[in-house]
Amino acid sequence: MRPKHVPIRTCVACRTSGDKRGLLRVVRDSEGIVHFDPTGKANGRGAYVCANESCISLAEKKHSLGRSLKATPEASLFEELRSHCIGSAVTSRTESEA
């Protein structure tokens, strides 16, 4: 039996919480390496960010993940997260496509 405890997942960028599937998990492993956790089950300190470009960019810009995890993610992490973005068809405003 497991207690009905549902961990609250809050996006580090927009602070929206909920267990909807749109959140990507990032974990800091025992070596202090920050990486994307596609399974959502990796051990370590975890943080979440919405699977959309704006939140990923915001998290990168504001170093939200690094602060949350107390470790510095590499730039490649954000590239990886972007590759897992949910289609941005609903995005009303696109900033730039650098």
Return residues touching Zn ion (CB under 5 A): 11, 13-14, 50, 55
Please state the closest distance from residue 43 (CB atom) to Zn ion, in A: 24
The smaller minimum CB distance to Zn ion, of residues 2 and 93, is found at: 93
Q: Which residues contact 94 (CB under 8 A, 6 or more apart)?
A: 88
Q: Measuring CA to CA, which residue among 76, 69, 60 is closest to residue 30? A: 69
Please state the closest distance from residue 31 (CB atom) to Zn ion, in A: 27
For residue 98, CA distances in Å to 3, 26, 94 come to 46, 24, 11
The smaller minimum CB distance to Zn ion, of residues 32 and 79, is found at: 79
The smaller minimum CB distance to Zn ion, of residues 62 and 70, is found at: 62
Ramachandran sector of residue 91 (left: φ over 0; alpha: ψ -120 to 50; beta: rest): beta
Please state the closest distance from residue 54 (CB atom) to Zn ion, in A: 8
